[in-house]
Chains A and B, each alone.
Chain A
């Protein structure tokens, strides 16, 4: 499968942090099955930091590797730092993705950001 970099293949074959968080502080979903990729990110926040990040992904090799990389990049970061993770930076960290995969499969950062936004909304609304 030479279309993907070694790093993509590593994250695809051994994805980090897969799963769901039962009592997540934020959940973010991106994509849909029509385009072929769908990601749901779960976050646990403590002292403004991402204490835990987990996800579930439906999609191709690139989508799975992107989710894994985003979870690894985000874990332990402050919320502001995590909001700075971009689809482009994910591509760079993965040593590149085929051009055709840049759009559909690279939704991990957006899904993570949605989860953070949900958490912030809840905070504003005076939640836990």
Chain B
């Protein structure tokens, strides 16, 4: 059977070069980088090399990179840590409706500690209007957190424009760039943000290694107290092998970005153009052009995402969905609902994350295998027969 991995939005594979760079740190270079003896030296140097590589990826000075354990941790750290450290200036935070749960649930937690927050709505493409951010800002606002791109629908957000606003008002601006760092060009100076989250497993690095970039001078309170690793901002013995992998992945991403994206955009455009041509009643979700290069997302009407996902899986194709049945919370994707899609349509969500391993023939395969699956599920669907009857069929 074919094996077609199209779920690179969930995680990318680890590149062989990345794995090779990591292996010595799971072998002879096992030492703790905090130790002054010889065993600590190679890991310590490797951490600093990785810091330079990650800094280089986003055009930030290496000393402003804080390594963490996941994109989720980076987001929690940024939102909670900055809110805690700056609460004398105010206790209000602005976020968008389509943020990752690690941001949305962080502000919910902060609410229990006496903070308040405003959620900025998005348009039909999940894009935020900077003007709406301006309207949400209050006297006591201290922090704005808006993601660079949404991993569920691929849309890229107007970060630069929002940054102009936050600068004008003297606010701290954090962006969750987990979906973009290592994927599209990210330059913290050009974006104008103050803090940025990234994660290695979105660009062919290992899981468990991520980072928060924090502009010098921005105050933050650590989530983890302990030793003085990461300048005292993130205590705990470092995941050396993972961080080395993150660094290597960052270096490769920067070097190969243009050619990777040229390739992925071509595959993506085919899928976005040809799938709706082959299947009726398919909605492309997210911005049609201004989106992540390998990202194609759809809602297939009258049927539900998990059953499509399972049938595709039986054909060797790995994808994901934002339907209620697919999520462990049994709720349809908050992103799709925030875009104004009905529950009924959101249930038919299907999400393709194309990666470097994918070939044109993988797209051909999906375009061949998916239509009969959709047809089969529609034949079973009461919503589809209602639709046909309403049409007078």
User: CB within 8 Å of B: which residues of A?
Assistant: 1, 12-13, 15, 18, 20, 29, 33-40, 56-64, 100-101, 104-105
Partner of A20, one of B332, B343, B385: B385
Q: How far is B324's CA from A86's CA once the two chains are assembled, in angstroms? A: 24
Contacts of A39 in B (CB 8 A): 382
Contacting pair A58 B302 (CB below 8 A): yes
Q: How far is B330's CA from A100's CA once the two chains are assembled, in angstroms? A: 8
Contacting pair A61 B385 (CB below 8 A): no
Contacting pair A61 B307 (CB below 8 A): yes
Q: How far is B303's CA from A29's CA once the two chains are assembled, in angstroms? A: 17
Binding site secondary structure of chain A: mixed
Residue of B with least CB distance to A101? B325
Q: How far is B314's CA from A36's CA once the two chains are assembled, in angstroms? A: 21
Contacts of A37 in B (CB 8 A): 304, 325
Residue of B with least CB distance to A15? B380
Given contacts A18-B379, A37-B304, A104-B330, contact A59 B325 (CB under 8 A): yes
Contacting pair B313 A38 (CB below 8 A): no
B323 within 8 Å of A by Cβ?
yes
Partner of B307, one of A29, A38, A64: A64
Q: How far is B307's CA from A64's CA once the two chains are assembled, in angstroms? A: 8
Other than the given A1-B313, A34-B332, A36-B323, 8 more pairs (CB < 8 A) read A13-B311, A36-B306, A38-B383, A56-B381, A61-B306, A63-B325, A100-B328, A101-B325
B150 within 8 Å of A by Cβ?
no
Measured CB to CB, the closest approach of chain A to B184, in angstroms, equals 33
A-B pairs with beta carbons under 8 Å apart, 27 shown = A1-B313, A12-B310, A13-B314, A20-B385, A29-B382, A33-B343, A33-B347, A33-B383, A34-B324, A35-B324, A36-B332, A37-B304, A37-B325, A38-B383, A57-B381, A58-B302, A58-B347, A59-B325, A60-B306, A60-B307, A60-B325, A61-B306, A63-B325, A100-B328, A100-B330, A101-B325, A104-B330
B48 within 8 Å of A by Cβ?
no
Measured CB to CB, the closest approach of chain B to A72, in angstroms, equals 15
Residue of B with least CB distance to A33? B344
Contacting pair A58 B330 (CB below 8 A): no
Q: How far is B377's CA from A13's CA once the two chains are assembled, in angstroms? A: 10
Q: How far is B344's CA from A4's CA once the two chains are assembled, in angstroms? A: 24
Contacts of B306 in A (CB 8 A): 36, 59-61
Partner of A56, one of B325, B332, B380: B380
Contacting pair A105 B382 (CB below 8 A): no
Residue of B with least CB distance to A67? B380
Contacting pair A36 B324 (CB below 8 A): yes
Measured CB to CB, the closest approach of chain A to B311, in angstroms, equals 8
Contacts of A34 in B (CB 8 A): 324, 332, 343
Contacts of A33 in B (CB 8 A): 342-344, 347, 383
Can you list, as one digit per residue, whether each of B145-176 has a CB less than 8 Å from chain A (1) or not (0)? Answer: 00000000000000000000000000000000
Contacts of A20 in B (CB 8 A): 385
Q: How far is B381's CA from A99's CA once the two chains are assembled, in angstroms? A: 24
Contacts of B385 in A (CB 8 A): 20, 56
Contacts of A63 in B (CB 8 A): 304, 307, 325
Measured CB to CB, the closest approach of chain A to B329, in angstroms, equals 9
Q: How far is B325's CA from A15's CA once the two chains are assembled, in angstroms? A: 19
Q: How far is B306's CA from A99's CA once the two chains are assembled, in angstroms? A: 16
Measured CB to CB, the closest approach of chain B to A14, in angstroms, equals 11
Measured CB to CB, the closest approach of chain A to B327, in angstroms, equals 9
Contacts of A62 in B (CB 8 A): 325
Q: How far is B376's CA from A15's CA once the two chains are assembled, in angstroms? A: 11
Q: How far is B344's CA from A34's CA once the two chains are assembled, in angstroms? A: 6
Given contacts A18-B379, A35-B330, A38-B382, contact A61 B323 (CB under 8 A): no
Contacting pair B310 A58 (CB below 8 A): no
Measured CB to CB, the closest approach of chain A to B349, in angstroms, equals 11
Measured CB to CB, the closest approach of chain A to B318, in angstroms, equals 11
Q: Which residues 317-355 in B have Cβ within 8 Å of A in the complex?
A: 323-326, 328, 330, 332, 342-344, 347
